[in-house]
Every structure is written in C-alpha cells, then in structure tokens.
Chains A and B, each alone.
Chain A
Amino acid sequence: MNGRSETRKGSFWRDNSLTLVFGGAFLLVLAGQAVAGRAGFNENLAVDGMQQLTMGEYLMSSDFAVDVTENWQSEFLQFFLYIFGTVWLLQRGSPESKELHKAGPESDQEQRVGDHARTDSPRWAGTKDWRQRLYSRSLGTAMALLFVLSWLAQSIAGTAAYNEQQLRQLLPPVSWGAYLTSADFWDRSLQNWQSELLAVAAMAILSVYLRQRGSPESKPVGASHNATGVEG
C-alpha cells in the first residue's frame, strides 16, 4: 500500500467493490452449500428410512451449522495467525512480509500513535492509555474473537449433529465435553487448519518469485525477487 490517505470519492459501488463482490459471492456460495448439503443429508436420511428435511429445516439443522462454522473458524484463525504472526515473522522477498529490519511492533513514530498521531488518524490512535493499546491490536483481536466464537459454535453444533448421527445408529449421545475430545471434532478442525496454513505458506513463498500485475497482494512485476515488504 502507498500509505496515502484516499480522499477521492467515486461511486459507492466502485469504492466498496472488494467488500461487496466478496460479500455477495459469499452469500451465493453459502446458498449453494445449503442446496448441496441438504441433498447429501437427505440421501443419508433416505438410506436410514428417516423423514427428509425441507430446505428451511436443513438451514436450521445442526448438520448445516457445523459444516458452515467449521470453515468459518479456520478462516478467522488463518487471518488471526497471519495478522499477529507477521508482526514478528518475515519472509525475504515477499510482499506479505514487512521489511526485514522492522520485525516487532515498531515505534510509536512509525505507527503514528500517541504524540505522533496525525489529524486524520483514528481518535483512539492519538490517546496514550488502554484505548491506544486496544486499538493497536483491534484487527487481530477481532479475528481472534471471531475465531473463538466460530469454533465454539462449531463445537456446539457439532455435538448436536454428532449425537443425531449417534441416535440414528442406536448409539448413546455424548456430552459437549466428550465431543471436544472426539475424533469427529478434531478431524473437522484439523482438516480445515492444515489447508489454511498451506495457503498462507504458499502465498508467502510464491509471492517472492511470481507476480500479479496490479494486485496489492503482489510486488510490482518488475520488482526484484529480493525486494521485501513492497506491494504493487
């Protein structure tokens, strides 16, 4: 990023197209997941001779909830780890890394906090108390909180979905605590975590050598492979 404050105002749609397009795509894909998920769930119910679920019933089911939240928690975990990890961890040549001499939380001057805040800085950046400390970590904290809430939701929905399956197989239900130590809970969690960590590692190293013209996630096409912390 160039660090300049953007004052130009375009249309609302253009100025927010990144959030709007990805937010809209999220809703479409979630709807697609609901259609496919219901079909698969109903196939299993048919095999067991059970009543099929309507779309409304499936959307309220623990099966849908656990499938959704297990992916949400891993995405928020990925961003939480990435945001906090890149404070200290570096990758020479990667635009995803800060410059090699800047590892750590950096100085107040570099971060424009306290006395170094500017007129257009967020209000809490200019304070010198807990508000500055909280705001200085608010992005990572928000991701961490969303991760914890999503993972908690996964565990609760997962317990219900697992127990529904248990009862269909004439097995006794398990408690939430027992589910937390179950293979199902950790299989769902770890299979998502490994893919997120692979994606981060791949992005960090591939962006050293490969380019995407015009993307802020890439270095400029002509930038050196050794240039670190440079975004296009």
Chain B
Amino acid sequence: MAFEKALAEKDYAQACMLLAPRTREELKDSEKKPCGAALAGQGLSPGAGAPGRTQVYGRQALLRLPGDVLFLSQFADGWKVTAAGCAPQTGKPYRCTVKGG
C-alpha cells in the first residue's frame, strides 16, 4: 500500500499526498506545522506485510495491515487515507493517531 510504503521510506510529503483533504487539514491545523513535518511527528509505524481483511462499502473502506489499521475513502483521484494508526475500542469508534476533524 502506497501510504505505508511512503511511511516506511519516511517520505512524509508523499504520504501527505495520500491523505484525504480533511485529514490533511486537520493534521496541519492541530500541529501548526506543514503536513509532512506534522505527520513525521505522529510516530506512525508503517504496517508491513500483506493486508488482512479489507472491507469496502460504497466509497469507504477499512484496511487491516499487520501493525496498522487504516480507514480510506474514494476521491476523484483515487483512494485516500481518512484515518491511520487506528486501534479498536469496544463500543466506540477506532482511536486513530491521524484522522479528519
């Protein structure tokens, strides 16, 4: 997955390009830094290996990788990450390190 590959290569500018617009804006606003620098400070560990169960409904998807869970949404220029570094919480939304507003 391109986003995980960019994280693994510490190419945060490229990883930012793969974030959904709202998520990118939220990251910049909350960290008061450019997206790449803000993303680098999040401590995201790239998931490695083949994706586990992927669930797609309409334009939304949940991608489980070894070491990371991502939420994605389909835009005109492809699938973008809406939330990354996510961990499940019983009866609540996933707790995600990076997410939209």
Among B23, B60, B93, max chain A CB count under 10 A is at B60
Chain A, range 24-61, C-beta contacts under 8 Å to B: 48-51, 53, 61
Chain B, range 16-70, C-beta contacts under 8 Å to A: 20-23, 55, 57-62
Is there an interface contact between A167 and B61, defined as CB atoms closer than 8 Å? yes
A62 to chain B: closest residue by CB: B58
Given contacts A163-B57, A170-B83, A173-B55, contact A50 B73 (CB under 8 A): yes
Write the nearest CB–CB distance from A22 to chain B, whole angstroms: 32
Contact with B along A152-174 (1 / 0, CB 8 A): 00000000110110111111110
Is there an interface contact between A51 and B59, defined as CB atoms closer than 8 Å? yes
Contact with A along B60-97 (1 / 0, CB 8 A): 11100000000101111000001100101000011010
For B82, list chain A residues within 8 Å (CB): 168
For A163, list chain B residues within 8 Å (CB): 55, 57, 60
Among A49, A62, A161, A166, max chain B CB count under 10 A is at A49
A53 to chain B: closest residue by CB: B59
Is there an interface contact between B75 and A51, defined as CB atoms closer than 8 Å? yes
Is there an interface contact between B21 and A49, defined as CB atoms closer than 8 Å? yes
For B86, list chain A residues within 8 Å (CB): 170
Write the nearest CB–CB distance from B26 to chain A, whole angstroms: 9
For B60, list chain A residues within 8 Å (CB): 163-164, 167-168
7 A-B pairs with CB atoms under 8 Å apart are: A50-B20, A51-B73, A63-B58, A167-B57, A168-B60, A169-B93, A171-B93
| A interface residue numbers (CB < 8 A to B) | 48-51, 53, 61-63, 160-161, 163-164, 166-173
